[in-house]
Structure 1
Amino acid sequence: MSDVSIRFGTDGWRAVIAEDFTFANVRRVAWALAEHLQASGRARQGVAVGYDCRFLSDRFAAAVASVLAAADIPVILSPTACPTPALSWAVVSRRLGAGVMITASHNPPEYNGFKLKGWFGGPALPEETQQLESILARQEAARRPGQEPPRGMDLDEARRLGRVEEADLIGPYVEQLRRLVDWERLRSARLRVVVDPMHGAARGILAQLLREAGLEVTEIRGEWNPGFGGLAPEPIARNLGPAIEAVQRLQAQAVLVTDGDGDRVGAVDATGEVVDAQRIFALLLQHLVEVRGWRGAVIKTFAGTRMVDKLAARYGLPFRETPIGFKHVCEHALKEDVLIGGEESGGIGIKNHMPERDGLLCNLLLAEIMATRGRTLAEQVRALMAEIGPHHFQRRDLRLSAEGKDRLLRRLAEDPPSRLAGWPVERVDPLDGYKLIFGPSRWILFRASGTEPVVRVYAEAESPEAVEALLADGLRFVDAVAGA
């Protein structure tokens, strides 16, 4: 029996390749998924299986396909690496029962992962992943010590029997993107941009779409490199040195960035200033309402900027805040008309598409915003903050021992600080982690990651200096408690 406990975090199961993320364990999850789909009555609808550019992702995807085929579940298998939203669109457009994406998204290169998509294309909902974990536990309990799960069937045989079909998932997805963007406006603007897929699965796709719209495009970090050039493929400031250098060297209007599997968005302005996902969320919301004239609920996860709350109130739109993880946004999108929903990490989805994050679509809309407003992204951010007030944001990731993490979370639950950086805490919100709130635009959040062995500390305030002061005192608090 395996001693690996497989748990689905905020977005799937992730683990280090060759340690816990092994072919045997991937097959374990696939067999549990097969049983779950059969029990739910969705097995005959079939499953799309895709993969990213990480080490052995294609082989892991083939292992999943072979197991599902052995369970007589039809499989649509991508013949190439593809972005996660392309896999999700295949589930929606083909009306399949589920989707599996082999990816660790933004995690460091030594990780891989198993993202499960529901029949609606978005992340599997919590009750579904809980059912999958229960099946896994029961299957393991029934297995003899040392016995590996069945390997599945030969893929060539599965193809011959019609149980596995290889199909292009990127082409239909690109056609969907063509329906969602104002290409005429882009053609008239004649922008010069850099595209940075961070060696991930969106490489070549976003750049080609923008070239077809008449933009002058240079793609960087577009080569296949499962080591991601030594950086985690997460579009945050510390990983965007090549993007900053490129935008200044090429005198472009912006760098449009996607993460390792293409479902997150990031950007760098013409000046080399990083436009973080918090500001991107606000810009997209403003554009969809003021230019597109769209309406609907606004959904923000717990670490999201207060700019979103303020804009929703200004536009008279319903507003909801959820725990971290796009699956919670997706729950709302399945029940009500959602205009936009997203996370501080850059996973943002919009209406008239699917209840799923899409980094390529969000980047196309950023280009549309520049073309419409005639401003750089930073200029547009400054104009927005002149209207609703300044907001600045930072995040720190801390690696703590399991004991230190437990001490920290226990202390925050039982005796949180009453003051940080000289400001009194007005209240503590324990929705997902512990958020200490100091005022309408100032807060700090301590939260254990659901996909990595880290505690994240997020802070937002009215100035960069206030954010730094909050973080510095917050980190001193963590040091004193977790290191004690």
Structure 2
Amino acid sequence: MSWQDQWKKWSNFHQLDESLKKQLTTMEQDKAQLEDAFYQSLTFGTGGMRGELGPGTNRMNIYTIRKAVEGLANYIEKHVDQAKTRGVVIAYDSRYMSKEFAIESARVLGQHQIQAYVFESLRPTPLLSFAVRYLQTAAGIMITASHNPPEYNGFKVYNEDGGQIPPKEAEAIIEEVNRVEDELQIDVQPQDEIEADGLLKWVGNDIDEAYLKELQSIQKTNVNEQHSHPLKIVFTPLHGTAYDLVVRGLKQTGFERLEIVDEQAKPDPEFSTVSSPNPEEHQAFEMAMKQGKEIDADILIGTDPDADRLGVAVKDGDGSYQVLTGNQLGTLLLDYTLAHMNETDRQNGKVIKTIVTTEMGRAVAEHYGVETIDTLTGFKFIGEKMKQFESTEDHFLFGYEESYGYLIGDFVRDKDAVQCAIAACEMADYWKRQGKTLKQALTSLYEKHGYYLEKMKSLTLKGINGAEQIAKIMNNIREYPFETLANQKVFAVEDYASSQRLYTQSKNKETIQLPKENVVKFLLEDEGWVCFRPSGTEPKMKSYFGVKTNDQAKSESFIQQIQEEVEQRMEEVLGEQV
């Protein structure tokens, strides 16, 4: 059907939700807005289904949610043992319509006689992953759009292992979703009926308590609040879901000198105190930094709305605070984790990172005799690899990605800002007792392993035209690959869409043993690299850069030159300033 036909179908549907009907009437004067709302159906990307709220097949609303759950229900009935009785656990964050979407999901599952466990109130994404494993459900659903703007929401599916669905499962679920011909005609059960029939069970604090108990298993050193200078912490949940579990986890670990950014403590779907609720962006720490200076805090921690991403700011030498990059914090946590394991625990242990995450992690792991495994971007691939370890002698030690996602304890199978917030504070406390700040500890790692530096350029290109521009960039890069960057020769080109690594001098080719993905990576002679990847969850074209030298100034100059040359190429391709 054309977008016009889809629009008319929705407009003529006499049972259309009243609020969506009003929005649709308002949109009728804006053809471009209507087209964008109906020109395609929301699909699963690297993190599930995510989009703007509103009427339309390309929007998040009760009908697109019903369609996704209908496909999921049909999938688990066919492919997961005892799916109906094991059921599906559902959690949701602080966004507009999150709880409503959770209940709609339960109503669709109820029509299939599939048990639904829904949290009584908002919970973090990692707790949903834990809950799938704890309750041994057939699947999990998380209603969240992570750190996207307020007008977004999303739908993430977790498999019976508690991990985000990997590509093969996603393809099968998408196939089931696509078989649903009309999202407006999906049968659902009334909420009161599925509650009365026991098909909707509300989940309370039992899972929280079980999760907090597991947190104790990843503690490496004892926190000593009695020493002369105990650690002082400022925490902001950025209007999201992390407040309760992070505060309880820190208190449980022994931290008492904890202050909360009160203005950002309460859930708020508008995220009214920040331009973006993303701990990757330094503006999200402005309030925490002000409060930190007032009490001379040692560490500032911030979590995104669904608490799967963690940002940390540490004392700089001039009394201000520096926000660590995801690569820096991940490397510090990795070093701390491995350093406090004995050789037996490290034996056959593996570190997992993504192809756009710093190579410094590999150097740190090698220092402790531990192998690092690369995956494609997206924590679902790390979770998938963890599952594979269960049938081998290998075991998981640490996983992380540059976009502020880390995991230490394998009782969760997705990135977990809650457990890593506690771990980061424990690490800061340890280094403080050694007379070092976290920044000084990081400098020591650079001096030992080399000055690794990474950057990422994100270019937002929305709508139909944006998708065409992203395709244009990727096609151009493949057709006219870089031969040099920053006066360094490209010695290999990795094209993950064709699963081939081409060595430019010998013209030899190797097969890349990873799933196919629309990603191209250039490897430079002097340990530099550049990677191009369209985002799977947002309308963005992402360019990643990485370098290593023996000097900080050299690394900064090297990566700046690479970035300038890449941005110039982007401008030439798009014919405009980017």
Aligned 8 A contact 1:52 1:81 in 2: yes
Larger Rg: 2
Q: CA deviation at 1:18?
A: 0.9
Whether 1:196 aligns to 2:236 is yes
Query: What CA distance in whole angstroms lies between the structure 2 residues aligned with 1:352 and 1:404?
Result: 39
| Bigger Cα displacement from structure 2, 119-128 vs 175-184 | 175-184
Equivalent residue number for residue 305 of structure 2? 260
Query: What CA distance in whole angstroms lies between the structure 1 residues aligned with 2:131 and 2:285?
Result: 34
User: Would you identify which runs of 4 or more consecutive aligned residues in structure 1 move more than 6 Å?
Assistant: none
Whether 1:79 aligns to 2:120 is yes
Q: Secondary structure at the match of 1:342?
A: strand
Query: What CA distance in whole angstroms lies between the structure 1 residues aligned with 2:314 and 2:187?
Result: 49
Q: How does 1:134-213 map to 2 (within 5 A)?
A: 134-140=175-181, 143=182, 148-168=184-204, 169-182=207-220, 184-185=222-223, 187-188=225-226, 190-212=230-252, 213=254
Equivalent residue number for residue 285 of structure 1? 334
Query: What CA distance in whole angstroms lies between the structure 2 residues aligned with 1:291 and 1:357?
Result: 21
Q: CA deviation at 1:13?
A: 0.7
Q: CA deviation at 1:94?
A: 1.2
Q: CA deviation at 1:133?
A: 0.7
Change (3 A) 1:373 1:170: same
Residues 409-434 of structure 1, C-alpha deviations (whole Å, 9 max, x = no match): 01211211212233332222223522
| Residue 532 (structure 2) aligned to one of 424, 427, 446 | 446
Aligned 8 A contact 2:136 2:160 in 1: yes
| Unaligned segments of structure 1, at least 5 residues | none
Change (3 A) 1:465 1:440: closer
| Residue 246 (structure 1) aligned to one of 291, 310, 323 | 291
| Bigger Cα displacement from structure 2, 154-163 vs 398-407 | 398-407
TM-score with structure 2 setting the length? 0.79
Query: What CA distance in whole angstroms lies between the structure 2 residues aligned with 1:257 and 1:124?
Result: 27
Residues 24-76 of structure 1, C-alpha deviations (whole Å, 9 max, x = no match): 00011111111111111323211100000111101111110111122111111
Q: CA deviation at 1:389?
A: 0.7
Q: CA deviation at 1:137?
A: 1.1
Equivalent residue number for residue 39 of structure 1? 78
Whether 1:222 aligns to 2:269 is no
Q: Secondary structure at the match of 1:273?
A: strand
TM-score with structure 1 setting the length? 0.94
Q: Secondary structure at the match of 1:99?
A: strand
Query: What CA distance in whole angstroms lies between the structure 1 residues aligned with 2:494 and 2:292?
Result: 40
Letter in 2 for 1:281: G
Q: Secondary structure at the match of 1:228?
A: coil
Aligned 8 A contact 1:244 1:273 in 2: no
Residues 437-460 of structure 1, C-alpha deviations (whole Å, 9 max, x = no match): 224542222211111111011112
Residues 383-419 of structure 1, C-alpha deviations (whole Å, 9 max, x = no match): 1111101122221211232332222101211211212
Whether 1:398 aligns to 2:459 is yes
Equivalent residue number for residue 434 of structure 1? 520
Query: What CA distance in whole angstroms lies between the structure 2 residues aligned with 1:302 and 1:288?
Result: 21
Query: What CA distance in whole angstroms lies between the structure 2 residues aligned with 1:241 and 1:373?
Result: 22
Query: What CA distance in whole angstroms lies between the structure 2 residues aligned with 1:420 and 1:182?
Result: 42
Query: What CA distance in whole angstroms lies between the structure 2 residues aligned with 1:128 and 1:108?
Result: 28
Query: What CA distance in whole angstroms lies between the structure 2 residues aligned with 1:390 and 1:186?
Result: 33
| Unaligned segments of structure 2, at least 5 residues | 7-37, 390-394, 497-516, 549-554
Whether 1:307 aligns to 2:365 is no
Q: How does 1:256-405 map to 2 (within 5 A)?
A: 256-271=301-316, 272-293=321-342, 294-295=345-346, 296-336=349-389, 337-374=395-432, 375-400=436-461, 401-405=466-470
Q: Select the structure with the greater relative contact order (CA < 8 A; seq sep ≥ 6).
A: 1
Q: Secondary structure at the match of 1:185?
A: coil
Aligned 8 A contact 2:457 2:542 in 1: yes
Query: What CA distance in whole angstroms lies between the structure 2 residues aligned with 1:11 and 1:90?
Result: 18
Q: CA deviation at 1:237?
A: 3.2
Query: What CA distance in whole angstroms lies between the structure 2 residues aligned with 1:475 and 1:108?
Result: 25
Q: CA deviation at 1:289?
A: 1.3
Change (3 A) 1:55 1:384: same
CA RMSD of aligned residues (A): 2.0
Q: Secondary structure at the match of 2:218?
A: coil
| Bigger Cα displacement from structure 2, 61-70 vs 240-249 | 240-249
Equivalent residue number for residue 65 of structure 1? 106
Kindly tell me the number of residue pairs found equivalent between the two proteins.
479
Equivalent residue number for residue 417 of structure 1? 482
Q: CA deviation at 1:180?
A: 2.9
Letter in 2 for 1:380: A
Query: What CA distance in whole angstroms lies between the structure 2 residues aligned with 1:252 and 1:430?
Result: 45
Query: What CA distance in whole angstroms lies between the structure 1 residues aligned with 2:430 and 2:309?
Result: 23
Q: CA deviation at 1:351?
A: 4.1
Aligned 8 A contact 2:95 2:150 in 1: yes
Q: Secondary structure at the match of 1:382?
A: helix
Letter in 2 for 1:454: K
